[in-house]
Amino acid sequence: MRKNVSFAAAVMILCWLVLFAAVAAQSQQSAPADHGIFTPAAIQWKDGPAALPSGAKLAVLEGDPAKEGPFTIRLTLPAGFKVPPHWHPNIEHTTVISGTLNLGMGDKFDKTKGNNLPAGSFSFVPPKTNHFIWTEEGCVLQVHSIGPWGIVYVNPADDPRQAKK
């Protein structure tokens, strides 16, 4: 009887070890191969994408917004910057790094319906939720989400890509 209990315990321990090894192997496969460290001087700023009004600067810190998977970007928006009502295909997580961002919800640009988000603020906007932003003094934002990323303007005439055709 004692041998049966010992054998059963050994089999159970072996099963746990096999399960643990499988989980560990799977987590190793899904873990990123590299890591990233960005000091302010190391961030490479470029002109913002055509989907935003001119004046924005963008830096990709992680991933690729155009491809499937997580990404993190930084945006520098100048004073007086405005993005008319729009939505994104995936959730948008935004942290205000410096300055102040104004965020409003809805399909009409209305500064009286906005929220003043000073440095240190965080917001998230669910997929396909109409919202708009503007700055008075300019700001730096960090946005993270899941790609592929996009911006769809409520009023197609507001889309800066239309003017560039």
Domain boundaries, the chain: 1-31, 40-163
Among 107, 108, 103, smallest CA distance to 128 is for: 107
Q: Global pTM?
A: 0.77
In order, the DSSP letters of 105-120 are ESSS--GGGEEEEETT
CB 50 within 8 A of CB 161: yes
| CATH superfamily for domain 40-163 | Jelly Rolls (2.60.120.10)
- Asked if residue 151 has pLDDT above 50, the reply is yes
Q: What is the pLDDT of residues 57-115, one digit of tens each?
A: 999 999 999 999 999 999 999 999 999 999 999 999 999 999 999 999 999 999 999 99
Cβ count near 58 (within 10 Å)? 17
Three-class SS state of 109: coil
